[in-house]
Structures are given as C-alpha cells and as structure tokens.
Amino acid sequence: MTQKRILLIISGGIAAYKSLELIRELGRRDIACRCILTKAGQEFVTPLSVSALSGDKVYTELFDLNEEAEMGHIELSRSADLVVVCPATADLMGKAAAGLANDLASTTLLATDKPVLIVPAMNVRMWQHPATQRNIETLRADGVTVMEPDEGAMACGEFGPGRLPEIPAIVSEIERALQGNNAGALKGVHALVTAGPTREPLDPVRFLSNHSSGRQGYAIADALIKLGASVTLVSGPVALTPPAGADFVPVETARQMLKACEEALPADVFISVAAVADWRPARAATKKLKIKGAGSEHPAMELIENPDILKTIAHKRKNRPDLVIGFAAETHDVEEHAEAKLARKNCDWIVANDVSGDVMGGAENEIVLIMRDRSERWPRMGKEDVARQLATRIAVTLGDGGAGAKLAAE
C-alpha cells in the first residue's frame, strides 16, 4: 500500500503543542507529515521539534529563495494527499474564507487542489463570534471540512466550545478523509461485530473472564464505518470508547452476547472477534463465597459449556450473513487449529493469531487469514492496520458478488 502523506499547517495558539502529538500518532499509522509552521506557531513550538518528529524539512516563509528553489509554494500545496490545518486560528480561517494569501500558510490553502481539513482551536468568544461562524459557513460551502471543537476549560480560564478536539478524534477524521474513493465502498452493508471479553459470574462480586482488551474488535468496527458500513458493535466490558457511528450494544455474559447478535440480524457480514468464555459456572452463588478458615476444603465448582456464538450464526439457515469471519486465538499450532475451526464452525474466513506473547491486550497483532481455498500470512502490524486491511478485503469480497455467491458457485 502506498504511504499516505499530509501537509500539516500549524498555526498559532496554545494548542499548537498538541500538533507534535498528532505528528507522532500519524507516524505510527504510516501517515507521513510535511509541515508548514506559521510565524505565530513558532511562538509555541519550534521548527526543530516539528522536523525531528516528522522526519522532514519544516517550511516557514513564503519569500525564502532557498525554499522556493527546492520546492515552490505551489508544488508544496499539492505535494500531499490531504492538507490539514491543526490548530486553526480564527485569523487563518478568516484569511482562507476571504481568499487572502499574504503568508505561506494562507497562500498554500488558496493554491492547493487537494482536500482540506481544518481543526479549529480558540477562545470560546472568538469561536462563537458571528464573523467566525460566517467564515466557517463559507469554508464548508467551498468544500472544506471543518471539525467542531471540543467543549471544556481553556488556558485563558474560560469554559465552553473552542478546545482542540482530542488527538484520536483528529486522527480518525484524517484517516476518514484519506480513504478517498474507498470511503463509500461498504455503503449499504450491515456489519455485525463482537468485541472484548465476556464475564461469567461466580458470585455477586467474582467472575470468570480473560485478558481481551477489545482493541482489535473496536478497530475493525471503526474501519468498517470509515468505509461506509452500518455497524452493530456487541461488546463485553472494556475500557474503550465505542467508535463514532456504531450501534453499540454492551453485554456481560456469553448468553447475552448471543441474544444481542441474533437480535441484530440480518447482517451482510458477521465478524466474531470477542473472546467469549467457553465455560460458565453451572450455578452462580447468590452470596459472596467465603473462606472458612485454614485447612478448610476449597469449594467445588461445576462448569457447563456456553453457547458457541460463531457456530450458531454460521450454521443459521435463515439470516446467515453472506460473509462469516471468526477469530482463532491460539498459543500453539496456530494454523492447524484455525483450519480445523473454519471447517467445524462453518466459517468463510478465520483470522488466526498467536496470543502466546503480548498480543492479547497489546497494541499489535500478527495474523494468518485463512479462507476455504487459501491462506495469507500478514506481517506484524498495529491492530488498527490489521482492521483497515481486513475491512478493505471485506469490501472487495462483498463488491465481487459476496462470499455467499462465491460459496454457492463452489
């Protein structure tokens, strides 16, 4: 996949320091940044710090003969896939709305032929001023995407809308903009995704569970949404915020998760990422289990099998999704166990991953995608990258007539 590149314009304001964090997070997603730093922006961050994080030269002056010789401002304005202004001051937005071009940043915005994303940050009174709101309306009418600022306490001591949005939200918006022609690839598709662990109660305060963080399932739901899918996310208890746009259904136990999945059908694709407990106590105690003292016998616990959510959905005669994808978390003989699971549970694909190391709960994953006629080993990558790659593969498959049609042809 060709590396995506943005041109990041950093203007003045206390929020400018957050642009450094943004550059770092984009780099982790293999999105390169070339940066313009305004004169006011240099009062808050230095060209050296921006250059060190971006790994590229920082541009500051419109009338710099050396910079113009190396890369003219016209070429600079068109050297990326997306132009991002973060943070964007009221002054720079006013220049862009009026078509003014008296410095490198405003000239670049006027000369670019690429999509533009503006991320405002300013005092609440400045944000709410009629002139600022008129400028925003003008920019949006011109096709510019302007994010809404967050609401909260500000460095000036006031409270209200005007804070720079959180970095994950900005990164998500950038990724959405970079999708380009693929943005609607899954429009009209309903995807059902499970994520996180389940909890099976032992007594009112204890439960059986596992180390799943839910990160992979949430990342997949987010990637599908960014390709235009309507996503139902059924999740066990995790410390994550559901992706914007998801129909979120929180559950605790395996039986609750199965019920929520069946109620969410029909769906075009089902992705079973959740780490569902295989067993549950036959009888959960109604009172907290107590230790009776030294030398006492440990309480006996009878376990019974939980419903197999993946197998249940994959074997449905009515409302079976066209594409059923399971996850196989294994500690050894990963591909052998995954291939057996694919056949046993009637899946179309299995995403097999080795969880013997730091994968479960970690930030990265190394998987093998196993289909009925072949398999693919993917390199170790961030869970967000796995999600994007899987979502793209789903879009291609459903766009080619769907997995159900392919299986019928076989």
383 is in an annotated binding site: no
Q: Is the peptide bond before 243 cis (omega within 30 degrees of 0)?
A: no
Q: Which residues are catalytic?
A: 156
307 is in an annotated binding site: yes
114 is in an annotated binding site: no
Residue 282 structure tokens: 């036959």
Please answer whether residues 320 and 314 qualify as being in contact, where contact means their C-beta atoms are separated by less than 8 angstroms. Answer: yes
Of the candidates 219, 271, 275, the residue with the CA atom closest to the CA atom of residue 242: 219
Can you tell me the distance from the alpha carbon of 203 to that of 284, in angstroms, rounded to the nearest whole number?
5
Strand partners, 364: 382
Can you tell me the distance from the alpha carbon of 204 to that of 196, in angstroms, rounded to the nearest whole number?
21
Cβ contacts of residue 298 below 8 Å, gap of 6+? Answer: none
Please answer whether residues 196 and 158 qualify as being in contact, where contact means their C-beta atoms are separated by less than 8 angstroms. Answer: no
For 60, half-sphere exposure in the C-beta direction (CA atoms, 13 angstrom radius) is: 14
288 is in an annotated binding site: yes
Residue 323 structure tokens: 């594409």
Supply the Cα-derived Rg of the chain in whole angstroms. 25
Give the count of beta carbons closer than 10 Å to the beta carbon of residue 196: 29
309 is in an annotated binding site: yes
The one-letter amino acid at 215: R
- Cα separation values, 358 from 83, 213, 278, 328, 380, Å: 36, 12, 21, 16, 12
Buried b (16+ CB within 10 A) or exposed e, 324-349: bbbbbbbeeebbebbbebbeebebbb
Can you tell me the distance from the alpha carbon of 42 to that of 37, in angstroms, rounded to the nearest whole number?
7
226 is in an annotated binding site: no
345 is in an annotated binding site: yes
247 is in an annotated binding site: no
Three-class SS state of 177: helix
DSSP letters, 256-295, are: HHHHHHHHH---SEEEE--B--SEEESS--SS------TT
242 is in an annotated binding site: no
- Cα separation values, 51 from 36, 71, 106, 177, 365, Å: 10, 16, 21, 24, 30
Q: Which residues are annotated as a binding site?
A: 278, 288, 307-310, 327, 341, 345
Binding site for CTP, by residue number, is 278, 288, 307-310, 327, 341, 345
